[in-house]
Chains A and B, each alone.
Chain A
Amino acid sequence: MSKILIADDEKALRLLIAGTLEIGDYDILEADNGIQALETVERERPDLVILDVMMPGMTGYEVCRYIKSDPDLQDIKVLILTAKGQQSEKEAAWEALADHYLAKPFSPVELLSRVEEIMKKT
């Protein structure tokens, strides 16, 4: 069963993402800040990490960059949730070597189809 880590300081958003993905055959892990997210990544080795940008401790970009710079972890797919329509956010996501990004506010249907697409490739 594929493991997906949801890292977001907003409890409501973690609940939303988890709820969205519960109809798929995924093992859902959660973290409420960047550091906790990295610890979970190293321990659990998820297939996909969904990262919010704004998190206390470490930003989503920093977590992503860390994952992608570690040879043991760099195969893990990363999806960053950015604020909508801002070019700088999109660029920052690519600079952090994220595999995918999705702008907030997102549709659960869109998120699910994105995640399913990523999981098929792995």
Chain B
Amino acid sequence: MRKAIVLLILIMTFLSGLASAYAITDKDIDFYKLFENHGSIMLLIDPQTGEIRHANKAASDYYGYSVEQLKSMKISDINILSENEVINEMQAAVAEQREHFIFRHRLASGEIRTVEVYSCPHAADDKKILFSTVYDITEKVRLAEKNKILFISLLVILMGVIVIIGFFTLLLFRNKKRLVESNDLLKETNRLLHEKQYSLEEQNTVIKGLNSQLEDDNERIQQQKEILQAIIDSFGAGIIMVDTEGNISFINEAWRDLFSYLDISDGLNRKFYISNMGYDTKTFFQKMMTGIENGNETVDKLIELTKDKESRFCADLEQTKPVRRFLNLYSNPCISYKNHNFGRVFVFRDVSHQKEVEKLKMDLINTVSHELKTPMSSVLGFSELLLTRKLSEERSMEYIRTINTEARRLTNLINDFLDMQRMESGRQIFNKKLNSVDDIIKDAIRLFDGEDNKYRIIYKKEMDSSPLIFCDRDKILQVMANILSNAVKYSPEGGEIHIDLTGDRGRIMVTVKDQGLGIPENAMDKLFNRFYRIDSDDRRNIGGTGLGLAISKEIIRAHGGQIGVDSVYGKGSSFYFILPCSEGSMAGETEDDSYSRGKDESGS
């Protein structure tokens, strides 16, 4: 295109020279030839009329007209625009407003081609001529159109693609956003869950700790409960608990033992908190009070107490059936250290043994008071007489002797009590030496010499030697004296008292046989119990502390021996004691000596 413009300028210069000089030079001819033979289509057009003034060979070839034919044609014959339209267009070129145009030119063949026209005005012969160079751009335009369509198509496709990509991108973005959001949410949830889990784990740990503590506490409580239950059960008294509603809520094992003959076990299916007993409290009390003296009154009192929140109650009950015994009952309100009232407890104790001991003590006191009062009366009475009266020397001496005798009697009694106390508490000291049993027996007999001539004491030593025993002489003498005194005392009608000394295999046996009252069968096993005295009409008036045989038993036991009695009630008694004797001291014993003794012999 630039070449064309340069060429056009050259031609324009030529034309202007042509016009100015009008005389054609050689140079002009060369340019003319250039115009004529130029490959580009060139036309010279009168802008006023539209007539074609000149055309080159290329134009002729292109349009299909000869140069001559072209020179006779108007441009409007070629241009598909109307004549006026063409002239208007050319005016723009003449005015040098435009130099480039796109037109559609019709060829001689009738074919219409798109052309690009460069026009510039040129003055010649006082007239303006348009010099136009034409280039066929049909193919170019077609190509351009084609390219344009392709471009647009591509553009459309591209846009479509962009839109799709954008859509998908948007979608993706949106999804991504949503996913991110979801992810964030999930992360947050996860974090929260973690926190929760941690918190739960913490709580779990705490709960586990608490649980373990509770288990420990529970175990401790169970243990304490068990201990309390054991204490209550092993308590040596029957316990009944009545709640504030008046219902029996608890019974301990000792109570069950105490009232084992009551068939109420079916109702009491559990030790603690008996909810279903099968019968009411009053019926229960009535069953319990069966065979107890004034039982009905006691039941009424107990029922009254169940409604009483303050009173303390204590009673001694005597039961005659099914067992003979004494019960002590006390009842206190059951109030905890926190001042909670749980009802009332009734405590039952079998006090039969205490009662028996008490009775024995009372008996002892009666015995002692009687035994002591007789000599005391003498001592006090005679001394008073001596102090208040003028008496003959003989009478005074008699009184003083009596005082002395009675005072000794008192001393012996007191010594008996003290001996018993010492032996029972294990504080008695025995001064043991080798002593001849024979001598001790003879000394004992001497104590009863001249007592009363209605008794006859016959001593028989059924062995040649005089065996030695390792003993406290005074104590064994005491035993002998006690047995002999009993023989005298319980033979009110008098009679013979036989003392036999026998020996065998390192032991000696002393037997004292009387013809007295004898001992009832039921008294035999209690005879050596302290303070025991046979309570029968025939001996009620025979004095004694009830300690003599108990003391004798203790003494013999302390010497490793045995003491016993055979008796036929009403015919007499035979007391004996066996003691170990010193080795070799029985060398002279005879084979015939024997302990073996039957009831007949002992009772005769």
Contacts and interface: CB of A to CB of B under 8 A. Distances in A.
A87 to B, nearest CB: 12
Given A56-B492, A56-B541, A109-B388, A16 B369 contact: no
Interface residues of A, number: 23
A84 interface: yes
Interface stretch (B33-41, B64-72, B376-384): B376-384
B95 interface: no
Interface residues of B, number: 28
A57 B493 CA distance: 11
Interface string A59-86: 1000000000000000000000001101
Given A54-B543, A56-B492, A59-B540, A13 B374 contact: yes
Nearest to A111: B381
Contacts of A107: 380-381, 384
Q: Which of B406, B541, B542 has the largest count of A CB atoms less than 10 A from its CB?
A: B541
A12 interface: yes
B542 A16 contact: no
A92 interface: no
A104 B384 contact: no
Given A56-B492, A56-B541, A56-B542, A105 B380 contact: yes
Given A54-B541, A83-B370, A104 B389 contact: no
B370 A16 contact: no
A19 interface: yes
Contacts of A94: none
Interface in A68-122: 83-84, 86, 104-109
A20 interface: yes
Interface stretch (B138-146, B243-251, B395-403, B466-474): B395-403
B405 interface: yes
A15 B396 CA distance: 12
A15 B377 contact: no
Contacts of A105: 373, 376-377, 379-381
B10 interface: no
B91 to A, nearest CB: 179
B16 interface: no
A96 B369 CA distance: 22
Contacts of B398: 15
A19 B505 CA distance: 58
A13 B378 contact: yes
A104 B374 contact: yes
B377 A86 contact: no
Contacts of B492: 56-57
B385 interface: yes
B147 interface: no
Given A84-B373, A86-B369, A105-B373, A55 B541 contact: yes
B296 interface: no
A16 B389 contact: no
A21 to B, nearest CB: 11
B260 interface: no
Interface in B412-468: none
Nearest to A81: B377
Nearest to B380: A105
Nearest to A33: B541
B402 A15 contact: yes
Contacts of A42: none
23 contacts: A9-B541, A12-B374, A12-B375, A12-B406, A13-B377, A16-B377, A16-B378, A16-B382, A16-B385, A20-B385, A57-B492, A83-B369, A84-B369, A104-B374, A104-B377, A105-B373, A105-B381, A106-B381, A107-B380, A108-B384, A108-B385, A108-B388, A109-B384
Interface of B: 366, 369-370, 373-382, 384-385, 388-389, 395, 398-399, 402, 405-406, 492, 540-543
The 6 closest A-B pairs by CB, nearest first: A105-B377, A16-B381, A12-B378, A104-B373, A105-B376, A104-B377
